[in-house]
Amino acid sequence: MSEVPIAEWLKIESRNDHDEVEIAMQSNALLAPELEKTVYIRHLRALWGAYTKVQFILQPFSEDPLIHDFKPIVCNDELLEKDLNDLNVNYKSENINVEPCSHLYMAYGILYVALGSNLGRSMIAKQIQSQVLNWHKKGPFYFIIDPKRTRFWPGFLSRLNSLDLEPKEREEVLKGAQLAYRLFIKEANAVAGQEQ
């Protein structure tokens, strides 16, 4: 019996973590027929915080070919900053306190989650773009409909699946994915807490 490809295994093993992120990020409210501007802004702020920290965590591993080739896709902080500035929203934080990523395989898991989030944004953009256009003067910049934004995913999965990983190494990848999911949840909760 052949081993389940790492990408499929990660999807199965981290399904609950993914679902918790969807709840914390209020994804259902983001896709509601009548999207509220506050929900949209909260989502942008949480994404900005999460992606800023993901880039910080991945930086020490930038020379690795897989990280090097796909990390630029998760450099979304500038697009999110443009959107938040366009909406006159204060979003800056001096706190880059993150859990350490001690292993390259953990970095692969973090990249998996961040790229998956990027893939999700293309689907969300189709649903919300007509609503958010009215709130922006120049944007949106992050949630735009662009088919090129999804082309990376099959290549990333293929390269990830081609890695010959031992069970212990797979567990490190899973730990990285779970760390990334916690980071997105933490950012969503922090933004929600600032509003209360």
Residue 91 is predicted with a pLDDT of: 79
Q: What does the angle CA 164 – CA 17 – CA 162 come to, to the nearest 5 degrees?
A: 15
SS3 126: helix
CB neighbour list of residue 97: distance below 8 Å, 6 or more residues apart: none
Distance between CA atoms of residues 71 and 166, nearest Å: 24
| Domain 6-194: CATH superfamily, name plus number | Heme oxygenase-like (1.20.910.10)
Residue showing tokens 């189709």: 126
- State the Cα–Cα distance between residues 52 and 78, nearest whole angstrom: 9
CA–CA distance, 76 with 64 (Å, rounded to integer)? 20
Report whether 100 contacts 53 (CB < 8 A): no
The Cα–Cα gap between 46 and 192 comes to: 9
Per-residue pLDDT tens listing for the chain (196 residues): 358 999 999 999 999 999 999 999 998 899 888 999 999 999 999 999 999 999 999 999 999 999 999 999 888 889 999 999 999 998 776 566 777 788 999 999 999 999 999 888 888 998 898 899 999 999 899 998 887 778 899 999 999 999 999 999 999 999 999 999 999 999 999 998 866 4
The DSSP-derived string for 72-121 is GGG--HHHHHHHHHHTT--------------SHHHHHHHHHHHHHHHHHH
Q: Are 54 and 114 in contact (CB under 8 A)?
A: yes
Residue 90, pLDDT score = 85
- CA–chain centroid gap for 71, Å, is 11
Q: Are 108 and 160 in contact (CB under 8 A)?
A: yes
**What are the backbone dihedrals phi and psi of residue 73, each rounded to the nearest 5 degrees, phi first?**
-70, -30
Domain extents for the chain?
6-194
51, 76 contact by CB (below 8 A) = yes
Angle between helices 167-194 and 104-132 (to 10 degrees): 40
- pTM given for the model: 0.92
Residue listed under structure tokens 């490190």: 172
Nearest to 40 by CA among 163, 133, 105, 102: 133
Identify the pLDDT of residue 95: 64
